[in-house]
Chain A
Amino acid sequence: DSGVTQTPKHLITATGQRVTLRCSPRSGDLSVYWYQQSLDQGLQFLIQYYNGEERAKGNILERFSAQQFPDLHSELNLSSLELGDSALYFCASSATAGQGTQYFGPGTRLLVL
Chain B
Amino acid sequence: AQSVTQLGSHVSVSEGALVLLRCNYSSSVPPYLFWYVQYPNQGLQLLLKYTSAATLVKGINGFEAEFKKSETSFHLTKPSAHMSDAAEYFCAVTSFGNEKLTFGTGTRLTIIP
C-beta contact mask, B95-113 vs A, less than 8 Å → 1, else 0? 1111111111110000000
| Chain B residues within 8 Å of A107, by CB | 42-43
B92 smallest CB distance to A (angstroms):
8
Interface size class, chain A: 20 to 34
Instruction: Let me know if A42 and B97 touch, CB within 8 A.
Output: no
| Chain B contact patch, size range | 20 to 34
How far apart are B45's CB and chain A's nearest CB, in angstroms?
Answer: 7
Q: CB within 8 A of A90: which of B32, B43, B51, B98?
A: B43
Given contacts A43-B90, A101-B34, A104-B36, contact A58 B100 (CB under 8 A): yes
Determine the distance from Cα of A26 to Cα of B45 in the docked complex, in whole angstroms: 14
The answer to the question of B46 belonging to the interface, with a C-beta cut-off of 8 Å to chain A, is yes
A-side residues, CB < 8 A to B, are 2, 4, 33, 35, 42-45, 48, 55-56, 58, 90, 92, 97-99, 101-107
